[in-house]
Structure 1
Amino acid sequence: MLTYRITPEELPLLRFGISPLGEMSLSLRSLLAPTAYRHSLVRSYAATPGGAAHVDVLATLVNEDFSTPDFLTPRPESPQPRIRDQLADVVRTPTPSILAELDALWDSHRPHALRGPGWSVRSRVMEALEHYWSQSFARFWVEHRSILAADVRYRATHMADHGLAGALATLSPHIRLAVDRLAAVSLAGPSYAASVAGRGLVFVPSFFTLGASYPVDPTGPPMVIYPARGQALAPAEPVHRGLHGLLSASRADLLDMLDGPTTTRELAASLGKTEQAVNQQLQGLRTSGVVEASRSGRCVLYRRTEAGDVLLRMVRADTAGRAGFKPAP
């Protein structure tokens, strides 16, 4: 059981976020308990030739208590961080810290797949995660992310209507806010008490937690992972035909141009269209979760999300397949 002590001044700082790396790492629990975690994504991946080469490493990233090292389940420091940024943070994590977390996970008796020089262990873990993401989880994430985002929007609306305590009471029977503390009961894993101490507390929806999950290290950034609403809506395998229908030729061109933050004016000038026409297309893509917007001064900047990256690759692959040639990676 986890108990976070929270001062009244810290309550307004509680927030929600979505973590692609954390969700991908938690999905590995289904290798250990396929009946409890019914999504067959990682098991299907493990059955492929490419997946079989990495499954020994992936399977060791969850121990018998269903705990995962904290560097693979990072607290999202923005509402919806990008997977490449989170993986880059793992690369920057000092190797001794990674090995210490793996040792803690396995009580200093790491499985064979995680033994060896630190640089070699890090390399194997990163290679396995990146392959799992690119070959399997990224396609699933296109639709998965939209359901998690809908959960966060629901919580925000519920909070506006019923207050913070009312909203948190609906997260899970295993999570309770009482006066100056929040309690989260995990079905397995560590038990400790810690103070939020001005560090902020983030709630993260997930398809791969049954009650509540939280950091292994009591000194880690405060975070509670809770079961997402709408899990029955998530496909066990990726479904793409509906997403392909999002992209007319003009929308595909527009999505292709959004590698980096770009304004509506720049897009309109490049495409030879009015800003109003481009803005309408952008709003449709934003609603579908393949484009995101951020404000910089007076400008609104648009760019593709990871879901947009995946969708664009899928469309390019389909187009190349119909033309009879193999697309560039």
Structure 2
Amino acid sequence: MLRVHFTAEDLLGVRFAPEPLPLVELALAVVAAQRTDAPEVFGRWRQRLGRELPRAALPLLEVLRPDGDNPAFVEPLVRDFEEALDAVRLAVPLVDDAELSRILARSRGRAAVAPWLRGLRDGDRESWGLLEDALRAAHEVVIAPHWAAIGQSFRADVAWRAHLMATHGIKAALASTHPAAAWSGTVFEVGRPPDFEIRLEGRGLTLMPSPFWTGRPLLAGHPDGSNLLIYPAMTPMPLVPPGRAQGSLDALLGRTRAAVLSLLIQQRTTSELARDLHISLPSVSEHTRTLRAAGLITTRRDGKAVLHTATGLGVDLLRSGG
């Protein structure tokens, strides 16, 4: 379980990151490609990326693992891609022995440790060149062509949670970041492994949605001294509408998920949603799970039928979105 202890000062210090960051999103995308959850949403995207990811990018799989516990030096919190690469280059020689040992141990669990990983700690130019080439090659295929869509997902999520904060408070906004998230007093909890506990102690929390991350919210240090919470954006990357969204709801939820919410002004079963929207039952289940986690719909079972209905918050979103 993840447990984050807030003080009153921390609750007042919750804010959003201003924009997505290229190497953070790249790292999470490489992680997402190795995960197996949310197959209805990410399945085809993973298959396509498996075909398109260039050979030069494969060394990243030695460092970036499916649990998202990535070494900080490969995902600096820097806005510009070239400057972010410079930050990686400067950080590599400073990686301490404990961090290096952790990276090597993780890699050893998958296969024999690649020699270039050991070379990073020694400042070996060839090893750095291999890492830099991998980051550039992956960025060119995974991030650069889709940067506008990544930004669209990011901005839509921030707009939605800012609305949640304004209308229902900070606790509601944070509780909607994951289906297993809840509050126990002033402790934010997410009931998923591994166990991790932190006391913010007045440092505050910066929120960063990612359209690639699908797991439990991740915690990291922020250069400004606060803590960074990375969580799954409301609209994951494969569901971001192509081109300009038709409206604010499409931008936030994606067209199909917005249509699901719109239909749930009246109670419907999973089968009825699949029939009315011409999508599969697993796809409906994935969409309703996310809408339910965000507090936009409720679900109850009536015999063999599963019934879904928009909540007051969902109706409020439909009204504000036109």
Place the TM-score, normalised by the shorter chain, in its bin.
0.5 to 0.7
Matched, 1:162 2:168: yes
Distance 2:162 2:73 in 1: 28
Contact 2:32 2:66 in 1 (8 A): no
What letter is aligned with 1:58? L
What letter is aligned with 1:10? D
Summarize the alignment of residues 97-116 of structure 1 with structure 2, pairs less than 5 Å apart: 97=95, 100-107=98-105, 110=108, 111-112=113-114, 114-116=116-118
Contact 2:56 2:133 in 1 (8 A): no
| Residue equivalent to 1:212 | 216
Range with greater deviation from structure 2 (109-118 or 124-133): 109-118
Residue in structure 2 matching 1:201, options 186, 202, 205: 205
Residue in structure 1 matching 2:229, options 210, 224, 231: 224
Q: State the secondary structure of the residue aligned to 2:162.
A: helix
Structure 1, unaligned runs of 5 or more = 244-329
Provide runs of 4+ in structure 1 moved above 6 Å: none
Contact 1:184 1:224 in 2 (8 A): no
| Residue equivalent to 2:289 | none
Structure 2, unaligned runs of 5 or more = 245-322
Contact 1:176 1:184 in 2 (8 A): yes
Distance 1:205 1:73 in 2: 15
Closer/same/farther in 2, CA of residues 65 and 233 from structure 1, 3 Å limit: closer
Residue in structure 2 matching 1:126, options 125, 132, 135: 132
Closer/same/farther in 2, CA of residues 35 and 138 from structure 1, 3 Å limit: same
| TM-score, length-scaled by structure 2 | 0.60
| Residue equivalent to 1:91 | 89
Aligned identity (percent) is 25
Alpha carbon RMSD of aligned pairs, Å?
A: 3.3
| TM-score, length-scaled by structure 1 | 0.59
- 1:7 deviates by 1.1
Distance 2:210 2:97 in 1: 26
Q: State the secondary structure of the residue aligned to 1:212.
A: coil
Contact 2:56 2:137 in 1 (8 A): no
- 1:151 deviates by 0.5
Distance 2:217 2:66 in 1: 14
State the Cα deviation string for residues 117-156 of structure 1 (Å, max 9, x = none): 2234333222211221124421112212211111011111
Aligned length: 230
State the Cα deviation string for residues 247-303 of structure 1 (Å, max 9, x = none): xxxxxxxxxxxxxxxxxxxxxxxxxxxxxxxxxxxxxxxxxxxxxxxxxxxxxxxxx
Greater share of helix residues, 1 or 2? 2
